[in-house]
Amino acid sequence: MSQALEERRASKEPERWEPLRELEQLNERMRTMLEQTFGGLAPLDRDGWAPLVDIEELDDAYVVEADIPGVKKDDVNIEQVGNELVVTGEIKERKRDGALRRRTRRVGRFAFRVMLPERVEGDKIEAKLDNGVLAIRVPKAQRAERRRVQVS
């Protein structure tokens, strides 16, 4: 005896394919596998690892939010050179009483670099570290507006 199965239809539109996100996920999985296999003996690049970051563009500024749980504000360095923003720092290894059997949290030096597409006002950059999230507000420089000049 066979029963007819009810057809299921998705109420949402199909999810948009984002190949760059898939590459980032693959890179993260490979990095995790290497760290688990080799115990994170050496950083994968000269700067160590990069935190997860969101960059939001507002009308008057860029807002960069980086996940750096366990980092103290004295262990973070933020530099701006031209349109490049560089965030470096270190998550220090804590002293343990027992044997570490598994590690999935990152320790060591980290770095994040981004080139912002417009001129920025470096002297007005603000940064806050709250609950493991570093929020950096980078104001855009005012653009020169075109205006017509009357000849007298």
- Using one digit for the tens of pLDDT, what is the confidence trace for 94-151? 888 988 888 888 888 999 999 888 788 888 999 999 999 999 999 988 875 667 788 8
Q: What is the pLDDT of residues 13-52, one digit of tens each?
A: 777 887 788 888 888 888 777 766 655 444 444 557 889 9
Token pair listed for 31: 């990095």
With 0-12 / 13-18 / 19 or more C-beta atoms within 10 angstroms meaning exposed / middle / buried, residue 11 is exposed
Q: Give one DSSP letter per residue of 54-106, joined into a string.
A: EEEE-SSEEEEEEE-TT--GGGEEEEEETTEEEEEEEEPPPP-SS------S-
How far is 124 from 61, CA to CA, in rounded Å?
A: 10
Residue 128 has what pLDDT? 96
Report how far residue 75's alpha carbon sits from residue 65's, in angstroms, rounded to the nearest whole number: 16
CB atoms within 10 A of CB 86: 14
What value does the mean pLDDT take over residues 58-64? 92
Q: Is 67 helix (H, G, I), strand (E, B) or coil?
A: strand
Q: Taking CA 67 as the corner, what is the angle to CA 112 and CA 116, rounded to the nearest 5 degrees?
A: 40
Q: Is the pLDDT of residue 64 over 90?
A: yes
* pLDDT of res. 44: 42
Q: Give yes or no for a contact between 39 and 33, defined as CB atoms under 8 angstroms apart.
A: no
Residue 2 has what pLDDT? 54
The H or E element that residue 53 is part of is: strand 53-57
